[in-house]
Amino acid sequence: MELYRSHVLICGGTGCTSSGSVKILEKFEQELEKHDLTKEVKLVKTGCFGLCEAGPIVIVYPEGAFYSQIKVEDVEKITEEHLLKGRIVKELLYKEAVEGDQVKSVNEVGFYKKQQRVALRNCGVINPENIDEYIAMDGYRALGKVLTEMTPEEVIDTIKKSGLRGRGGGGFPTGLKWEFTYRAKGDQKYVACNADEGDPGAFMDRSVLEGDPHAVIEAMAIAGYAVGANQGYVYVRAEYPIAVKRLQIAIEQAKKYGLLGKDIFGTGFDFDLEVRLGAGAFVCGEETALLQSIEGKRGMPRPRPPFPANKGLWDKPTLLNNVETYANIPQIILKGADWFAGIGTEKSKGTKVFALGGKINNTGLLEIPMGTTLREVIFEIGGGIPNGKKFKAVQTGGPSGGCITAEHLDTPIDYDNLIALGSMMGSGGMIVMDEDNCMVDIARFFLDFTVDESCGKCTPCREGTKRMLEILEKITEGKGEPADLEKLENLAYTIKSASLCGLGQTAPNPVLSTLQYFRDEYEAHVYDKKCPAGACQSLLQYFITEACKGCTLCAKACPVGCISGETKKLHSIDQDACIKCGACMEKCPFNAIIKK
């Protein structure tokens, strides 16, 4: 084994891979070779660091120097200056990591300071494709402890006492779920992991699988021991190729070390794990649909009860938890239920991972103790809204959730508070909207999503969401009638109470919550035929302002010839003929054309 004086960590998460981190890794390899540093400096491809906005990210230890938005051309400089001569290249550091002459380590940067990493503790620290690094970080010790020192009842008791609740959205107490499966009668039981993270804008589970796959494997083996199962399945959506690959590598390594398979730690406990791929159906995130899909059927939900704990995969008792929930388990076993229960609020314990996106400066992944306020997340960790725009709302819970407005920004985040505000925790997507986002349009967007993803089994969801979408389309096109708002609400409540599964029951939430907080916007669309945010194309009008120099470019660009005016004189648009294509605005060299 080699000892290195410096480690260069390059993010290999999906965000950074998309922005070119693979090429950067290759360039580092060449540069280190060139300067004969391969024996002194180690390159490590890690999982997501979380601050995707600043990607591709490179961190150099032992200094903890945090380089952001690195380009291939920068690698030479980092190698020559930093790795060879020990001078940190300040101009390439993340903007907040430099303060005057002082260079701050990655952990002191605002984005990371307020975070507490439990589920993500190894993401961006270890090489996820190397089981030894996971073991170095106390990996598989929890499994060892459980198998040699604890009875299944004690394990379940620990999880119950910790107060851990399902991180996939519902927030059901995890320990209870384990107990139900443990108590269920059956010769064969299964453990399954829901990695079908379908909420748009959510990528917590993907980051855990990409950055720390062994944590999930270890937790599933622990769960298997606790409930009495010897076979596990991880159901991953096919849109996550990197996560699938890393998980498969990790399973192979665990098998080779005998941490999966027969007679683990010589205790007689057998446990095996298989990966199953989804094929692009959002509804498969619903637990009964997911189990159907693993069985090789159409992923359609079925009524509960019976719950999977009694009748799951192939009608056998099955424990199903989500990725982030599992990622917490080894830590709880090692550090104890009291440690975990000491973090968070009264009814929501521990930490929660959120994917922060939309109109926010620091898009990325973060993990905070429950009870942190939305304001802290958006303005301190997230760095506020870009371009000096005004915060309008934050959408949580994906297509099942709702919007939270500025007046509620000081609410501590936990399961119950978010539900009280008409939204929900969901799996942890957090999309920030500013004044330019039209809330009616956002509601329409989510309905469009649920209509597309409704499996079609039950009528309220299949037909009802379609009708709601039609009404919303009417409104955004300026054809809304006063009675439409009432119709929307009636439909929403019917769908909520009559749908078969969680997808249908929560589908109207985006509409209900925007109606609650932004009714004035709906009314502006319906009564005044105006979109206050200027987002709904059909309700916009293009105008030429005094800044026009009469260059005639816009008139030439207009496909319907509705712009008139003499050369070097102010032009005007015939609003009746205008098709609102925006071609004129794009062409104007003086920014004299506005839409409102």
* Contact set for another protein, span 393-432 (CB under 8 A): 395, 398, 429, 431
Nearer to another protein, 140 or 178 (CB): 140
Asked if 337 interacts with another protein (CB under 8 A), we say: no
Asked if 343 interacts with another protein (CB under 8 A), we say: no
Please report where in the chains the tokens 């917590």 appear, as a residue: 204
Nearer to another protein, 314 or 493 (CB): 314
Asked if 353 interacts with another protein (CB under 8 A), we say: no
Asked if 85 interacts with another protein (CB under 8 A), we say: yes
Please report where in the chains the tokens 């509409």 appear, as a residue: 511
Q: Return the axis-axis angle of helices 141-149 and 213-227, rounded to nearest 10°.
A: 10
Q: What is the nearest approach in angstroms of another protein to the Cβ of residue 381?
A: 14
Please report where in the chains the tokens 């039209």 appear, as a residue: 438
Q: What is the nearest approach in angstroms of another protein to the Cβ of residue 555?
A: 21
Q: What is the nearest approach in angstroms of another protein to the Cβ of residue 264?
A: 7
Question: Contacts with another protein: how many residues (CB under 8 A)?
Answer: 92
Asked if 330 interacts with another protein (CB under 8 A), we say: no
Asked if 108 interacts with another protein (CB under 8 A), we say: no
Q: What tokens appear for 536 in the block?
A: 């709904």
Q: Which of residues 54-83 bind another protein (CB under 8 A)?
A: 55, 61-63
Asked if 9 interacts with another protein (CB under 8 A), we say: yes
Q: Positive or negative, the Cα torsion across 161, 163, 169, 172?
A: positive
Answer for which of 193, 216, 264, 447 binds another protein (CB under 8 A) is 264
Which runs of E-coded beta strand occur in 419-573? 429-434, 542-544, 563-564, 572-573
Do you find a cis peptide bond into 306, omega within 30 degrees of 0?
Answer: yes
Q: Which of residues 354-373 bind another protein (CB under 8 A)?
A: 355, 357-359, 363-364
Asked if 547 interacts with another protein (CB under 8 A), we say: no
The site map against another protein for 12-31 (x = CB under 8 A) is: --xx-xxx------------
Answer for which of 43, 98, 103, 135 binds another protein (CB under 8 A) is 135
Asked if 472 interacts with another protein (CB under 8 A), we say: no
Q: Report, in this order, helix, strand and coil percent for the chain, each rounded to 5.
A: 45, 15, 40
Asked if 153 interacts with another protein (CB under 8 A), we say: no
CA 379 vs CA 52, 142, 263, 383, 391: distances in Å: 17, 37, 51, 5, 10
CA 195 vs CA 13, 165, 261, 362: distances in Å: 16, 17, 22, 25
Stretch that binds another protein, among 134-142, 515-523, 555-563, 570-578 (CB under 8 A): 134-142
Asked if 286 interacts with another protein (CB under 8 A), we say: no
Contact 97, 109 (CB under 8 A): yes
Nearer to another protein, 36 or 546 (CB): 36
Nearer to another protein, 266 or 589 (CB): 266
CB-based burial label for 286 (10 Å; 0-12, 13-18, 19+): buried
Residues in the chain: 596
Q: How far apart are CA 172 and CA 57, in angstroms?
A: 36
Stretch that binds another protein, among 175-183, 197-205, 368-376, 472-480 (CB under 8 A): 197-205
Answer for which of 110, 200, 336, 478 binds another protein (CB under 8 A) is 200
Please report where in the chains the tokens 């300071």 appear, as a residue: 113
Contact 249, 260 (CB under 8 A): no
Closest by Cα among 392, 47, 406 to 204: 47
Nearer to another protein, 243 or 468 (CB): 243
